Homo-oligomer: A and B are copies of this chain.
């Protein structure tokens, strides 16, 4: 086990925040005795890479447990290279705060012993949320949180024993596994209780691009579907829904995670409303001698100021550094999170940061939205790809609240820049001030973020926008009455590419260049929805119509690109 009965610092948990704390601390304070206890045999593995091991894109699980230069991240590595002790297969079963000891159990032998600490770090991560429906136990029905989940799936997939797959839960992991299933070519269904995929972070009109993309990849997407139970029939799992049942060779339960805070709770540390350990900005718990970081804590949501759970590997690593600095006697803070997240769905990239509209609405936060489609580079550049963006902001003070992005183009820059602005309480004016790197192989002369800022300004001058998708009945509902589509496209295949709900009598086609001349033929008492390729021309057309006294004109956000992305 370990040849001493106490350590200056004891770390519980060995995936992200734990090893990062140990490594950073051993560099800052090389004389400290640090012991990290990890229940599993694997340590410091790239858990976020597991879906790409499941898909076969990452050939062996070893690539997730080795450094980039091919060295296994095992206890020897941590001792010799990083300078602290890592003990795997050891479970911490309890914490005695008054005695400053933990009881550790060797899982293989069952033997327990007590280990003293000067400072304790809890980095126990998260565990899967239990399904809210009965599940008959089977190795063919699994969560996807531990290496064994990925390894056993991959083994079955490779041996040809999986022909069909059901994924219950359409969040990030569920969608990543659905993508993995497209690589294998399985007959796959993804089931989500909410009426959309990716309900955490994305609003429905953006999440729909994920559903379309999975659908195009041959995945059956069933949103708004509640699972009643999962049972076995001749050893094969069957997922029972309200109105049907789906048999499959394998079932993944991707229902989200919750903070693994049992140890902390048991020893009386303060726990938040979401079940995570409460920590201050220095990541100290309610006990001065105990820090906590990673998925097991609740941290401040930068946008709302409320505490929330953000189970993200990126944050866990940053927590590790902050904890190490503080234990080493330096001052470091973790100010909070805005929830930046990216997810690849087959051929499109999706990302979000900050608050979604749904969240803002539910929280009663003042907000407004703008949408647009943009090429990520100039259209004339050969590799130009489209992206759709949605921005949420406070129209009263211009405060930025959130950004969502989807498309084949480069969304990462925009999510990252927006995130860096949220970090410092950014405003619409900061978007205008943003100086992006520009050259045709990478960007347009104006960044999409500049255009979003202009749209937000135009909204304050009266611009009315509708979410992408050109959904006639939704638009009618939002507008409050019937409307006429006013398609202003020119030269870009209007005839070939019009929303299916254009019908004789409910649409007019006036190319933008003719709008000023033909404005006399339009009726100021009619509601018009402007439709163009990406939304930019509709904004221009709205300006023309507004100047002419039209007040019932709406822009279909992101135009045709918003329908056909």
Contacts and interface: CB of A to CB of B under 8 A. Distances in A.
A126 to B, nearest CB: 15
Interface stretch (A95-103, A224-232, A336-344): A336-344
B513 A69 contact: no
A122 to B, nearest CB: 19
A436 B490 contact: no
A512 B81 contact: yes
Contacts of A540: 27, 81-82
A58 B512 contact: no
A520 to B, nearest CB: 15
Contacts of A26: 543
A364 to B, nearest CB: 25
Interface string A415-443: 11101111110000010111111111111
Contacts of A437: 340-342, 351, 353, 412, 415-416, 419
A500 interface: no
Among A382, A445, A543, the one with the most B-chain Cβ atoms within 10 Å of its Cβ is A445
A413 B420 CA distance: 11
Interface stretch (A127-135, A144-152, A307-315, A472-480): A307-315
A375 B49 CA distance: 15
Most B CB contacts (10 A, CB to CB) among A69, A83, A316, A341 go to: A69
Interface stretch (A70-78, A105-113, A155-163, A264-272): A70-78
A254 to B, nearest CB: 15
Given A439-B344, A492-B70, A513-B77, A421 B419 contact: no
A522 B7 CA distance: 29
Contact of A49 (B378, B432, B489): B378
Interface in A393-426: 410, 412-413, 415-417, 419-424
Contacts of A446: 314, 317-318
A513 B81 contact: yes
A278 interface: no
Contact of A71 (B31, B435, B491): B491
B344 A543 contact: no
A250 interface: no
Contact of A445 (B16, B413, B443): B16
A46 interface: yes
A41 B493 CA distance: 28
A444 B396 CA distance: 37
Given A83-B544, A312-B438, A412-B410, A445 B317 contact: yes
Given A52-B381, A317-B446, A318-B450, 11 more contacts: A49-B378, A63-B380, A69-B490, A80-B512, A80-B514, A81-B513, A81-B515, A314-B445, A321-B432, A419-B436, A423-B433
9 contacts: A26-B543, A52-B381, A80-B513, A313-B445, A318-B435, A321-B454, A344-B439, A419-B437, A423-B433
Closest 4 A/B residue pairs (Cβ)? A30-B547, A314-B438, A70-B491, A69-B492
